[in-house]
Copies of this chain bind each other. A is one copy, B any other.
Amino acid sequence: MIDLEQVHDSIASTPSKIVLLVADGLGGLPHPDTRKSELETAHIPNLDGLAQRSACGLTTPVEIGVAPGSGPGHLALFGYNPLKYLIGRGALEALGIGAELLPGDVAARGNFCTVDDDGVLTDRRAGRIRTELSAQLCQRLDGIEIPGVQVDVLPVQDYRFVLRLRGDGLSEAVEETDPQREGLPPRPARALVPAAERTSEIVQEFVSQAGRVLSEEQPANMVLLRGWAQLPNLPDFGQVYQLNPAAIAAYPMYRGLASVANMRIIPTGMTFGDEVDTLHANWEDHDFFFIHYKPADAAGEDGDFDGKVKTLEVLDAHIPRILELEPDVLMVAGDHSTPAIMASHSWHPVPFMLHSRLTLGEGIEGFNERACAQGSIGRIPAETIMLLALSHAGKLSKYGP
């Protein structure tokens, strides 16, 4: 695999424009009754027609046989080696609620929990308290002050929150305080390496102050912290690829992932129609657009086969408005498969197509798992699609004399 750094010298900025459309959870599996996948069941004439004129293939998100989370799935599509650059749980949780995360910040995933008088855990989720209560408690914890560090406690949903620490010399290498089962006390946030001693002390101080703040509450009288994470040190997407990149995503998680790559985040509305409007409105200002379509994954995760079919048909209806812009390169990709029959992310290879004036045109019948397996691109690591895009857009010069 070519290192992003190795490729940099061969890339030139040109006026050509690239669109990367990520349909989250795009790939699927056949319905047991019809033996047709969601894409094969959906009426998607625009995607099917585009596939016939494109180069098609299948992408492997992280590694053959490995189902990826949203973080690795997207980083791979952006060209980052997802095994080298991992966004830890706490950091991804922060990005998922749209919280700003700067290099050096440490984030953890927090639970409100219940402890008894001896400090022994009796409920790891504090009776799954509701978001409204949780948000109030977060506000109170947010008032905790620790010298030399900025402490922010940000509500997520139900009993979950994000703890964000900002300051110099912080480290993610501290132990999780969640013992993962009841009947034990929360564990101390011990430093895993000497450089994490100070962070460990800060976290201990936060936990004991939180215990005092919550002492009169019931059931949410304590906190558990896990998934300590700092952002990986990602090369700058725009700099490496000599692009002026923008991201259009209705969901904060995907804006967050794009911001980690240092793309410009363009505010947009909640529907894909809004996103395509945003694409049109900003077309002149950028030469690379990442545009994200969430509903396919959501329906897949719900195990809703017919629902996922519908989301794909909704996506299909927007394709002509994207093509209207005549991008030099349009890629339709997925960060992973989310087969409705599994109701979860999966490791299955993901349909992929790239359209440009330099693509073969497959003469295959459509855009789906089986047809893309016949495509001229073959099965490739997701990590390589940006090189394909750059080449097809005339931005990547040849390697070697």
Task: Report A's interface with B, CB cutoff 8 A.
Answer: 1-2, 6-7, 29-30, 35, 37, 58, 62-72, 82-83, 86-89, 92-93, 227, 339, 341-342, 344-349, 358-363, 369-370, 373-381, 384-391, 396-401
- Which of chain B's residues have a CB closer than 8 A to the CB of A385? 65
Q: Is the CB of A347 within 8 A of B63?
A: no
Contact B65–A390 (Cβ < 8 Å): yes
- CB distance A377 to B360 under 8 Å? no
B88 touches A391 (CB 8 A): no
Could you tell me if B378 and A70 are in contact, using CB atoms closer than 8 angstroms?
Answer: no
Cβ of A20 to closest chain B Cβ, rounded Å: 14
* Complex contact B30–A361 (CB within 8 A): yes
Picked from B30, B349, B384, the residue with its CB within 8 Å of the CB of A65 is B384
Give the secondary structure class of A's interface. Answer: loop
Q: Say whether A391 contacts B360, CB under 8 Å.
A: no
Chain B positions within 8 Å of A347 at CB level: 387-388, 391, 396
A360, B387: Cβ atoms closer than 8 Å? no
Residues of chain B contacted by A376 (CB below 8 angstroms): 58, 348-349, 369-370, 373
Contact A68–B399 (Cβ < 8 Å): yes
Q: What are 13 sample pairs from A and B whose C-beta atoms fall under 8 A apart?
A: A29-B358, A29-B359, A30-B360, A64-B384, A65-B391, A67-B398, A70-B401, A89-B401, A93-B401, A341-B358, A362-B373, A369-B376, A373-B378
Minimum Cβ distance to chain B for residue A229 (Å): 9
CB pair A65 B388 closer than 8 Å: yes
Q: Are A377 and B400 in contact (CB under 8 A)?
A: no
Instruction: Decide yes or no: A377 and B349 within 8 Å by CB, A65-B384, A358-B339, A384-B65 being known contacts.
Output: yes
Chain B residue numbers with a CB within 8 Å of A349 are 376-378
Complex Cα distance A376/B346, Å? 14
Residue numbers in B under 8 Å from A401 (CB-CB) = 69-71, 87-89, 92-93, 227
Whether B37 lies near A360 (C-beta < 8 A) is: yes
Of the listed residues A1, A373, A401, the one surrounded by the most CB atoms of chain B closer than 10 A to its CB is A401
Asked if B69 and A398 sit within 8 Å, CB to CB, the answer is yes
Residues on B with C-beta less than 8 A from A360 are 29-30, 37, 348, 369-370
The reply to whether A391 and B67 form a contact with Cβ atoms under 8 Å apart is yes
Contact of A400 with B68 in the complex, beta carbons under 8 Å: yes
The smallest C-beta distance from A38 to any residue of chain B, in angstroms, reads 12
Structural contact, B380 and A64, CB atoms closer than 8 A: yes
- Known contacts: A64-B384, A358-B339, A379-B380. The answer to whether A72 contacts B400 by CB under 8 A is yes
- CB-defined contacts of A83 to chain B, threshold 8 Å: 2, 6
Q: Say yes or no: B370 contacts A64, CB within 8 Å.
A: no
Beyond A68-B398, A374-B374, list 15 extra A-B contacts (CB 8 Å): A2-B63, A7-B66, A64-B380, A64-B384, A65-B384, A65-B386, A65-B391, A67-B399, A70-B401, A82-B400, A87-B400, A346-B358, A347-B391, A348-B358, A349-B377
